[in-house]
A and B are shown apart, each in its own frame.
Chain A
């Protein structure tokens, strides 16, 4: 079956092409930026919009991003291809791997299975937004200390899942960590180290060696 989406942009990479389409990262200070509230009201009014590109305002890592997107653009594509936020990774694009995990408020979701237009009005956090002023969070430090990554492709997703878990449940058990991270898959098999890192970031005495090794 034909794939109706254009893939080939000649000299442009997909990402630079998308970015040249008029993406503007606006700071709150920019004059004449309509308020997010007004944008939201417009986006959520009961009117039919698209299929052509429409203005979409996302609040990512505390900064407003004013984008022009077709309604079909996923939040993941908006971050990676229409902004410079490539921290959230695309693994499956089908809600089955967790590499694209971002937070909406405090809630981890798959950015590949959500439209950018639906994410307006939320405080979106990607892995880029975790460290403040270059200081890694406890969870990030624990991942480093426990050597919880190999290729690192799954790491941003796991960091978001563990960060969300510890906000909701600061003293999780090993089972809580496994339950919270079941939707993140690491093809390099670093799961036991990730479990150790999550528990150590929470200050929970590391589970027995067998419990950690028997990660399923």
Chain B
């Protein structure tokens, strides 16, 4: 099966600086693909090349089996875009914006009206559909733009930081919508800074640093790959000596923080067994016990900081 997005060697040069350098990846049908990277890494530039807004200086992008350079209209017909900066027509109402999108995607009027009502209900803007977008808050604009991107029921959706600057409620609403869309079969390409969001939402993430891809994998695998040493946080109802803890089998390091101990171990399971046995033998009851999973944040920081160019 051909991938929904196939980027190979995408390169973009602005003046003297290379914003994106030989970026290649594939996104399969039904996936939520997260595209992560620090500010200025080239996420927006890559997204704009994939969506046919700017031409790449080298490399190719095939979207839904159409080359974005040679068959741009056919490719664009199949996807929707939520760009980085909000760009509904502020002099038009939400309804007029949606009707315009309907016409630009070639929907019959009745279908466009039906879809618009559904989408406005979905994003909670139906009562304000006849208000000019000028008067919308940032969160409302973003939800409208998502609705505009979905008017033609695209198979593929590109989103460039759809939740940046939104409050918890709007963010949750958008993430829930994306998950629902994906469950119904929409492939999603999502750019974000927010590791928590990527971690919860994406099946796979690609990490870009200074214009180059540095890793592509499932979030869980990236985390594991980055941190082979696990940490366990434990506290007891009485004083125990650090030497005694450090002497336990499978414990490789001990560190005290406040009333808690941070235990490093390569085999988390074995270390927990030792700690429990220790607690029983010394009559020191366990008050708290947490395993500290490496976060995607940490994985991200490692990947984007090591070997600075």
Instruction: Determine if chain A interacts with chain B.
Output: no
